[in-house]
Amino acid sequence: MADPVVEVTTNHGTFVITLDPARAPKSVENFLRYVDAKHYDGTVFHRVIPTFMVQGGGFDQQLEKRSVQAAIANEADISSQKGLKNTRGTVAMARTSDPHSATAQFFVNVADNAFLDHQAKDVHGWGYAVFGRVTDGMDVVDQIKAVKTGAQGPFAKDAPLTPVVIQQIRRR
């Protein structure tokens, strides 16, 4: 059976993510649950750092937090051992400083970010679970990473000054 594929339609264009349930089953299942519930429709990429990543999926266009389901266990330890690394074009679960706090937010690595890979089972070394890769439309992600950013809403920096809207994410 083929790996699940989703299309991310934004106001900057569309990109495609191929998910990897064999190496990151919990993260893929969690992400698809949000996709199927249409949670991402109308959310934004709220954090854009051009040398690092673009992050979205948790806030609406007014930068109000969207409600989310319970957090999932971080599987970066397993997925990293199976070869999923935070390299350019990969997609990973965003989280707080608590390693097991990922809900709906995700990010696309726009650079190789080895420091985000699992190192140890402690607060500083858990890493971020990669669960897919942009397989078409990385040029759209590169357009997103180039937007002007600054302070917006609850964010002191790195927020797009003009909203980068996720219009929808759908399975292909």
Q: What is the CATH number of the domain that holds 145?
A: 2.40.100.10
Give CA–CA dist 65/54, Å, rounded.
Answer: 17
Region 32-40 average pLDDT: 98
Say if CB 28 and CB 131 are below 8 A apart.
yes
Domain carrying residue 148 = 5-171
Identity of the amino acid at 78: I
Given pLDDT bands bounded at 50, 70 and 90, which one contains residue 1? confident
The string of pLDDT tens digits covering residues 59-78 is 999 999 999 999 999 999 99
For residues 8-34, average pLDDT: 98
* Cross-strand pairs, 132: 19, 91
Question: Residue 160: pLDDT above 90?
Answer: yes
Classified as helix, coil or strand, 111 is coil
- Chain segment 76-112, per-residue pLDDT in tens: 999 999 999 999 999 999 999 999 999 999 999 999 9
- Coil/strand/helix, residue 140: helix
The b-or-e profile of 136-150 (16+ CB within 10 A means b, else e) is: ebbebbbebbebebe
Percentage above 90 pLDDT, the chain? 99
Contacts 24+ apart (CB under 8 A), 82-85: 82/22, 82/23, 83/23, 84/20, 84/23, 84/24, 84/129, 84/130, 84/131, 85/114, 85/117, 85/130
Q: What's residue 155's pLDDT?
A: 98
What are the two backbone dihedrals, phi and then psi, of residue 35, each rounded to the nearest 5 degrees? -60, -50
Number of structural domains, the chain? 1
CA–CA separation, 82 and 91 (whole Å): 15
